[in-house]
A and B are shown apart, each in its own frame.
Chain A
């Protein structure tokens, strides 16, 4: 199983840790500000094309569009 995937490749119920954010400064700052930074533990609540994807970070729930989700690199955790 591939360890490093994009958020768009994750499946419902899977957990992982954010390792990187690609993309321009606009999208990066937006994701960083809302709490998606390398090291953040996430849990995928809703996945599947064409999005939006829903993830949990702690008690917070975020919906992320396909474009932005494709920029988030995750290390999958079993």
Chain B
């Protein structure tokens, strides 16, 4: 349907023409665990083309044969209102899948079968239902007659418990048998009340004369038209023309008047009634409403006071986990690569090649790899929060606060992590459910000062504002956080418009995570980070190495970097910053702590912050230093963060982040300098 053509990722290609197995299902049904069980380590995590929605692919082996498994985004339905649902829907609709495995949570069957019905209604015949979390259903007192269920639904039903591995062999067997054409299905299709059915028939007849009949199930198109599905209206309009379309719309309006409400409500309602009737035929005993331990825990964890306290504790733990373990590993990797560079250097005679290899390439690769531990640990932490079910509760607690800035509660997570490092923080935007929210959160993230910028802020505050250094440092933090939140409002209003997503979130039962899933998934996600962000970081490292060493090394006043700084001076002087500041800021793009180190080189200070502080105090006013600290905090995200934004959002949003941050830093820098000059 045009919107999201599904291309195969270059990493796992389908050159062999493997048969494709698509996994569909609601969020929190254990889809990832089943995906891992089917594919093992032969998998690859990427993004769907052009969007920030995660795409997982893997190879399933069965009796020496290989199949390509594609994990579709977890969705509750298949409307055109969210990018996730459109991706899943178009993938199925375009006939990409040889078999669709619909994974349903057996402890919550009513709602899960809604998606099943949406899939079957598309006219898909090759569907296998994995009735997952069968252990949980038993615990809740729900019993199934599987034979009856298969008969009623008309497709194979395999009870599974993905975590223990129960039923997975049977699932594989059913999938393969279906691909081999050994299973014939007779899927049940929801039936609606007479007035709706009459209209479906009427519209289907009008559509019969078009080429649509070759590609789509006409009944499905008719139902989606009744629901006023925007994508389907566009599609049908192209093939039917305005005359007949107006006639259809007229009929729809009449039907809406008859029911006195939108037909999407009526159809959903009748679909649920239909499902309810089906369920009664094969569910022997249904659990009843009763308050559980889960509910009592939820009251505490979503409480306005205790909820915040527990959230603070959990995030403190996450922060500690990522940075306490990650930072030493990062430093070790850094040291390892610089030792490697030193070890190799004597063996390269050509000075230029030596510089390129040692400082450019080894330094660059080291920079890329040194972020790997942070990103990997973050993904583990996040997977644990998600799989235990806590993430949903954190979203509830922060919802009210973040919503004031047009963001959902979950966007709090990347904001907090950013104080440590923006790279894992940008990667953490994956936890957000809505594409629009994801991009906004990603774009404002670099404005939250990371630990590298803390080094710059505290150095300048200490050197220039001895008595009020804490106040000045906190002030800069406050200004940048405020700017981040205001930017969220601004970007949401003017750059990425769109409906704010309504806050409705499932609170899954608290569970112990499947460790295998947590680790495999985090590993694959981190590898994707290396692949996508790595090229940007490496390229940046080589570029800066070149600028600072040619035609002569920096410090002489004649390197390209210094020339560039001098060329930029007329502009930076608007903020009261001379060419030395401009050069330092250029080097800060590699890593923000470089801003101070570069000043050291430019002033020829070999050792000691104290000496540098004195020299800088003689050359700059406190106002200039304050502006420099603020601009360092706000301007261009460091190269690794740009790489992370590119990995998550693509080139377009990486560019937007760069331009937005530069513009914001310039405006604020000029404003603060002039205002300060005027006031002081």
Contacts and interface: CB of A to CB of B under 8 A. Distances in A.
Given A33-B77, A35-B110, A51-B400, A68 B264 contact: no
Q: Which of the four size classes fits the interface of chain A?
A: 35 or more
Given A25-B264, A60-B111, A63-B396, A43 B289 contact: yes
A46 B399 CA distance: 15
B432 to A, nearest CB: 15
Interface in A41-78: 43, 45-46, 50-52, 54, 56-65, 67-68
Interface string B486-503: 000000000000010111
Interface in A8-33: 20-21, 23-33
Given A43-B289, A46-B298, A32 B265 contact: yes
A32 B505 contact: no
Contact of A32 (B268, B273, B291): B268
A65 B298 CA distance: 15
B79 interface: yes
B269 A38 contact: yes
Nearest to B392: A63
A20 B289 CA distance: 22
Contact of A35 (B111, B399, B400, B502): B111
Nearest to A21: B265
B77 A54 contact: no
B570 interface: no
Nearest to A13: B291
B502 A31 contact: yes
B273 A68 contact: no
Contact of B79 (A33, A40, A61, A64): A33
A54 B507 contact: yes
Contacts of A26: 81, 499, 501-502
A38 B107 CA distance: 22
A59 to B, nearest CB: 5
Interface in B268-302: 268-269, 272-273, 286-287, 289, 291, 294-295, 298-299, 302
B606 interface: no
A30 B507 contact: no
Contacts of B114: 33, 35
A34 B268 CA distance: 11
A25 B108 CA distance: 25
Interface string B319-339: 000000000000000000000
A46 B268 CA distance: 26
Max chain A CB contacts within 10 Å: which of B75, B140, B302? B302
B302 A31 contact: no
A32 B264 CA distance: 8
A27, A33, A34, A64: residue with the most chain B Cβ atoms closer than 10 Å: A33
B504 A34 contact: yes
B81 A25 contact: yes
B503 A67 contact: yes
Contacts of B265: 20-21, 28, 32, 37-38
Nearest to A26: B499
A59 B107 contact: yes
Given A38-B269, A51-B400, A58-B110, A29 B79 contact: yes
A31 B399 CA distance: 17
B503 A62 contact: no
Nearest to B395: A63
A48 B374 CA distance: 40
B272 A60 contact: no
Nearest to A56: B289
A38 B294 CA distance: 26
Contact of B400 (A25, A32, A37, A50): A50
B262 interface: yes
Contacts of B400: 50-52
Given A37-B265, A62-B506, A25 B228 contact: yes
Nearest to B76: A33
A61 B108 CA distance: 10
B108 A39 contact: no
Nearest to B77: A33
A67 B502 contact: yes
A34 to B, nearest CB: 5
A28 B262 contact: yes
Contact of A65 (B79, B287, B291, B504): B504
Contacts of A68: 502-504
A32 B503 CA distance: 13
A40 B507 contact: no
B506 A61 contact: yes
B403 interface: yes
Contacts of B299: 45-46
Contacts of A65: 399, 403, 502-504
Nearest to B26: A34
B361 to A, nearest CB: 49
A39 B273 contact: yes
A1 to B, nearest CB: 21
B173 interface: no
A54 B395 CA distance: 13
Contacts of B294: 61
A31 B298 CA distance: 21
A9 to B, nearest CB: 18
Interface in B67-96: 75-77, 79, 81-82, 85
Contact of A34 (B76, B81, B142, B499): B76
Contacts of B61: none
B261 interface: yes
B295 A64 contact: no
Contact of B108 (A23, A27, A58): A58
Nearest to A38: B269
Nearest to A39: B269
By CB atoms of chain A within 10 A, which of B142, B228, B298, B395 has the most?
B298
B410 to A, nearest CB: 12
Contacts of A27: 499, 502
Given A25-B228, A38-B269, A39-B273, A45 B298 contact: yes
Interface in B196-244: 228
Contacts of A32: 77, 264-265, 268
Contacts of A61: 294-295, 298, 506-508
20 contacts: A25-B81, A27-B502, A28-B264, A28-B265, A29-B81, A30-B81, A32-B268, A39-B272, A40-B272, A43-B289, A45-B299, A51-B399, A54-B298, A58-B110, A58-B287, A61-B507, A63-B395, A63-B504, A65-B403, A65-B504
The 10 closest A-B pairs by CB, nearest first: A65-B503, A33-B77, A33-B76, A35-B111, A32-B268, A68-B502, A61-B507, A27-B502, A29-B79, A63-B396
Given A38-B265, A57-B110, 17 more contacts: A26-B499, A29-B81, A30-B81, A33-B75, A33-B114, A34-B111, A37-B265, A46-B298, A52-B302, A58-B287, A59-B108, A60-B108, A61-B295, A62-B505, A64-B503, A64-B505, A65-B502
